[in-house]
Amino acid sequence: MLVIKGRLHKFLTISMFLFSLSACEHPEKARQESQTKSSIAKAMGHKNRPTSDLVRDEVRQPEKVLAFFEIKKGDRVAEILAAGGYYTELVSRCVGPTGSVFMQNNQKFYQFQTDKSVNERLQNNRLANVHRWDKELDALGFESDSLDKVLMILVLHDLYWMESDVDTILENIFQSLKPGGMLGIVDHSAPLDSGNEHALDMQGIHRIERQFVIDTLLDKGFVLDAESHALAQPDDDRTQAFFSSSLKGKPTDRFMLRFVKPFKTSNQALND
């Protein structure tokens, strides 16, 4: 009986300690989450946002994306294949003057779209913390351990028809992140067990399988930090491209994944 009471007392003591520790940490976490949500709301409601961006909000749901990727003031963020900069502008306002955003596009994008949308987005230095980053995917040019976050929003699948060596590109992105830095992925869900089959052809349906993405990035040294189903669309059968007539004005089924670069790689840990 004394042993049982002793164990019970120890259990209660530990439980109370963990509860008090959680209670101490919770206010700071709540404060940070509140600040993030506030900055996102301000970015979305900014008076200078283009009307063409506003009409895309319902399908894109950027408030959910930016909150999941924890975009905050002071972050150094690279957006890969940023296109016309719909997300670049929102991220720019979220990170503020102490942060910076690298708006990357390659020549294949400009061959299809020209640079009109990019010029309009950045004209008259309207987004002073954004660096236009016209670099090829296999020569991004970021210094090692220099970025807090890299975002690939609805574009990871494009790498597989654009480039012959996607693995090296992903490895270079890994190197560019600071230890603890985040890679944020949003993409159009492909059918189960299809891997990157539907991403290999520019004329295809521009989708990629969630598990293939996870397995690929784990293999590159990333750690899966979190997943969100906030953009899931169960009614999407995953057989049509996002630009098909059957999906006009409708969101695709999309997955959101948050990966981090560990503070120590497995090789470093073994050498310690």
pLDDT in tens, 128-184: 999 999 999 999 999 999 999 999 999 999 999 999 999 999 999 999 999 999 999
107 belongs to a structural domain: yes
25 belongs to a structural domain: no
What average pLDDT does the chain have? 89
pLDDT at position 35 over 90: no
Q: 150 vs 249, which has greater pLDDT?
A: 150
Structural domain of 48? 34-271
Q: At what angle do helices 86-95 and 2-44 cross, to 10 degrees?
A: 120
Q: Assign residue 223 the CATH number of its domain.
A: 3.40.50.150
pLDDT for 90: 98
Q: pTM for this one?
A: 0.85
pLDDT at position 93 over 70: yes
24 belongs to a structural domain: no
79 belongs to a structural domain: yes
Domains held by the chain: number: 1
4 belongs to a structural domain: no
15 belongs to a structural domain: no
159 belongs to a structural domain: yes
pLDDT class of 271 with cuts at 50, 70, 90: low
20 belongs to a structural domain: no
